[in-house]
Structure 1
Amino acid sequence: MARRLQFQPVQPVRAYERIVQQIEDAILRGDLRPGQRLPSERDLVQQFSVSRSSVREALRVLQSNGMVRSRAGDPAGPEVLPFSPATLQKSMTTLARVSELSLAELIQFRMLLDSSANLLAARLRTEEQLAEMDAAMAVMRAATDDYEEFSRADVAFHDAVARASGNRLVQVCNQVVRSVVLTLIEDKIARAADRTAQMAESIAHHAEVLDAVRISDGPAAARLARQTLYDYYAGYVTEQEREFLRTLIDTD
């Protein structure tokens, strides 16, 4: 006798979810491009054969997801938006805050991203990109009495390295993960006992990375990224999680 199949209960799909799915699919296929307009609310009601409230709920979801911009009463219809790293950042921050992603997982992912970016940058960087890194380092050295200026220069350095990697996805993910991690621990950083010593140590680490990138030593640049991030963030996680992060330290 054949084994009886076990099926799972299904959830009813609301009309607005179908609308969201169709519009998202059209954007992903390229049928709708950034800057183009969706039909007006009235036309959408007619095309989908649904109530006005269903269309409005769908547009609220799409706007919340950063896919369209909708203004009440706009006769031109909702505008399709270009992809923004802010959308990914919002989703990852939400995941982290509801404990779907731990801080240790985010830090480990950043260790992977930064080390890959450094490796690629060391092999692919141009003289102009190297000059950008030098300029960011100069600002960091001059801004040890201005934490905000120092932080902006620090970000500029990492952005220059990410651009030198030649991989746009690395750039986007690097920017997003860095922002999410800092958002989660910004209060702890603000209470750091000795920012001056922290900035001096950061300058030394960045200088080592820059030297490795300058001489095209990719493995060294990658190793430095992992070690530096571990040294900086290990104090914000538990000992068990530190062991999790240490798995990336001795990989060469």
Structure 2
Amino acid sequence: MFSPVSPVRAYERVVEQIEEAILSGRLEPGARLPSERDLMTQFGVSRSTVREALRVLQSNGMIQSRAGDPRGPEILPPSSSSLQKSMSRLARASSMSLAELLQFRMLLEGSAYQLAARLRTASQLAEMEAALLEMTSAVDVGYAEFSAADVAFHDAVARATQNSLIVVCSNVVRGVVVDLITDRLAHATDRTALMQAYLKHHSEVLQAIRDGDGALASRLSRHALHDSYAEFLPEPDRALLLPLLDP
């Protein structure tokens, strides 16, 4: 009828209560937690337990604690950094295949381009155009400079969705995918041709975003990702990407 339970350490209960107070708004950004001594009294725990709880909360990006500060740890505003760390660990887990990551990236970026085409502002469009110009210039400079401009383009598209979760997820998944195959890209036989192909794709998708054609921008994005990365997958895994390609 019942399953075994894991023992809960005292510091975890302290973390839970402080997290709940932050998430519910009872502790707002900029507010200060009581001193370690006061926390020991309120929670009825030892100093080491309080310090471990504060270490966890700081690691999670919820508080900032400075040694010797008499005002107590400061409550930080919400941030996507902790989510990004968690997603990075999950995406890099050995149990997750490159095919799954590519499939998710195709879904995510296809949706991002569709939203960007409909929601982008004039200044966000200008950011994409500037990044594309940098990519064009970087073809004759080097692959590292080209890749940096490419990242700037994708970041501008993600921001144009007006959705911070898409920004975080896009950064994580794109980074992990590139890391997994970076050696093969670095030793491509004709990197100039590769950069030219990427540049052609980005020019086409930027035009679709200018025109407000979200469906076309999404389709171009998904096909480009498939064409760029499917060759790095084992043959049976490539079938996982096919349902995301339009006829």
Q: With the length of structure 2 as denominator, give the TM-score of the two structures.
A: 0.90
Deviation at 1:235, TM superposition (A): 2.8
Amino acid at match of 2:100: E
Whether 1:186 and 2:182 are equivalent positions in the alignment is yes
Deviation at 1:108, TM superposition (A): 1.7
Tell me if the contact between 1:88 and 1:176 (Cα under 8 Å) persists in the aligned partners.
no
Aligned to 1:51: 46
Structural mapping, 1:32-71, within 5 Å: 32-71=27-66
Give structure 2 stretches of 5+ with no counterpart: none
Q: Output the CA distance in 2 between the equivalents of 1:98 and 1:57.
A: 26
Amino acid at match of 2:63: V
Equivalent residue for 1:159, pick from 155, 160, 164: 155
Q: Deviations over 1:41-73 (max 9, x none)?
A: 222111111011111111222222222222333
Amino acid at match of 1:115: G
Aligned to 2:169: 173
Tell me if the contact between 1:96 and 1:103 (Cα under 8 Å) persists in the aligned partners.
no
Q: Deviations over 1:180-207 (max 9, x none)?
A: 3334443443333332222111101101
Aligned length, in residue pairs: 246
Equivalent residue for 2:71, pick from 76, 79, 83: 76
Deviation at 1:161, TM superposition (A): 1.6
Whether 1:232 and 2:228 are equivalent positions in the alignment is yes
Query: CA RMSD for the aligned pairs?
Result: 2.0
Amino acid at match of 2:218: A
Where has structure 1 moved over 6 Å in runs of 4 or more? none
Q: Output the CA distance in 2 between the equivalents of 1:134 and 1:172.
A: 22
Amino acid at match of 1:32: L
- Of the structure 1 ranges 104-113 and 80-89, higher mean CA displacement relative to structure 2 is found in 80-89
DSSP 3-state at the match of 1:247: helix
Amino acid at match of 1:171: V
Change (3 A) 1:189 1:69: farther
Deviation at 1:233, TM superposition (A): 2.0
Q: Deviations over 1:85-140 (max 9, x none)?
A: 33222212222333243332222222112111111122222333222211111110
Deviation at 1:14, TM superposition (A): 0.7
Aligned to 2:15: 20
Tell me if the contact between 1:234 and 1:242 (Cα under 8 Å) persists in the aligned partners.
yes
Tell me if the contact between 1:89 and 1:177 (Cα under 8 Å) persists in the aligned partners.
no
Aligned to 1:198: 194
Tell me if the contact between 2:91 and 2:173 (Cα under 8 Å) persists in the aligned partners.
no
DSSP 3-state at the match of 1:101: coil
Tell me if the contact between 2:92 and 2:176 (Cα under 8 Å) persists in the aligned partners.
no
Tell me if the contact between 1:92 and 1:180 (Cα under 8 Å) persists in the aligned partners.
no
Q: With the length of structure 1 as denominator, give the TM-score of the two structures.
A: 0.88
Equivalent residue for 1:126, pick from 121, 124, 128: 121
Between the aligned residues of both structures, percent identity stands at 63
Q: Output the CA distance in 1 between the equivalents of 2:148 and 2:187.
A: 19
Tell me if the contact between 2:62 and 2:76 (Cα under 8 Å) persists in the aligned partners.
yes
